[in-house]
């Protein structure tokens, strides 16, 4: 089985609900990422608010068995909550396939895919 490394930037936006009780937006996104990538990823989140909107930018890195961007997107489509897709306003994704761990430094075995 091939192993890949992935790098993903995600931008989530929702209307700010000043009176609504519950978790902060960043915590909701963190919980969703935990359910999508329980062991194979780590991430950092940055939350901002402006003009009645809440923004969360997530930088995610990890490993998996995906060979190309489309494989990883299919994984997300099958498992992510509806709200994940409602709030997702943009992403950048790169998948690097590692044929053999001992050869990864030469760059000949890397395949990259990207999206907007």
pTM of the model: 0.79
pLDDT at 19 over 60: no
Token reading at 94: 């790169």
Residue 11 has pLDDT above 50, yes or no: yes
- Mean residue pLDDT of the chain comes to 85
Whether the CB-CB separation of 16 and 54 falls below 8 Å is answered with yes
Decide if pLDDT at 23 tops 70.
yes
* pLDDT computed for residue 98 by the predictor: 82
Assess whether pLDDT exceeds 80 at residue 18.
Answer: no
pLDDT exceeds cutoff 60 at 48: yes
Residues 43-48: contacts with CB under 8 Å, at least 24 apart: none
Question: Over 70: is that where the pLDDT of 107 sits?
Answer: no
pLDDT digits (tens, 9 = 90+) for 54-97: 999 999 999 998 999 999 999 999 999 999 999 999 999 999 98
Per DSSP, the residues of 33-99 read HHHH-TTTEEEEEEEEEETTEEEEEEEEEEEES--SHHHHHHHHHHHS-HHHHHHEEEEEEEEEEES
């Amino acid at each position: 089985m091939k192993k890949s490394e992935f790098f993903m930037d995600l931008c989530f936006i929702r209307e700010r609900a000043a009176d609504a009780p519950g978790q902060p937006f960043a915590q909701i996104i963190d919980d969703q990422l935990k359910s999508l990538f329980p062991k194979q990823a780590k991430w950092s989140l940055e939350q901002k608010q402006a003009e009645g909107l809440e923004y969360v930018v997530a930088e995610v890195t990890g490993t998996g068995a995906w060979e190309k961007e489309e494989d990883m997107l299919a994984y997300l489509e099958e498992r992510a909550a509806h709200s994940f897709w409602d709030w997702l306003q943009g992403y950048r994704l790169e998948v690097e396939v590692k044929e053999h761990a001992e050869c990864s430094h030469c760059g000949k075995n890397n395949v990259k895919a990207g999206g907007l």
